[in-house]
Amino acid sequence: MSTASHALGHIGEEAALAYLLAQGYTVVHRNYRYQRAEVDLIMRLSEQLLVFVEVKARSSTRFGHPEEFVTARKQQLFRLAADQVQYELNWTGDIRFDILALITTKQGLHIEHFKDAFY
């Protein structure tokens, strides 16, 4: 990963976090790792909903929209991590898998939130 794309990824994660906090979510984990899985953000929306968030930031849509880069393998790893987090937290509430797609524009970062993007 180039320095520019790494920087964009970091900026994207910070913007995604700020966006979710403004929507009333609270942070449970950032950059959670379990085996080969990594989840950018694990957020709680209510006492009964845990949300696993993949953040995808791109400088343009030239090669496709950010959300299109969440592969079946990534989804499988997300489910593995979710199982582990539910075990660690003794979580009995609902879970959801979201994607936050961010694209740089002349006006700044454009954020699109895909709720319940996969399962």
Residue 57 maps to a domain? yes
Please check whether residue 70 lies inside any domain of the structure: yes
Closest to 57 (Cα-Cα) out of 34, 73, 40: 40
How far is the C-alpha of 40 from the C-alpha of 30, rounded, in Å?
6
pLDDT in tens, 54-64: 998 887 777 77
Q: Is residue 119 in a domain? A: no
Residue 71 lies in domain: 3-114
The answer to whether the pTM exceeds 0.75 is yes
Residue 33 included in any domain: yes
Q: State the total domains in the chain.
A: 1
Q: The domain spanning residue 66 has which CATH number?
A: 3.40.1350.10
Residue 78 belongs to a domain: yes
pLDDT band at 5 (very low <50, low <70, confident <90, very high): low
Residue 51 located in a structural domain: yes
Which residue has 């929306």 as its token pair? 45
Question: What's the confidence (pLDDT) of residue 33?
Answer: 96
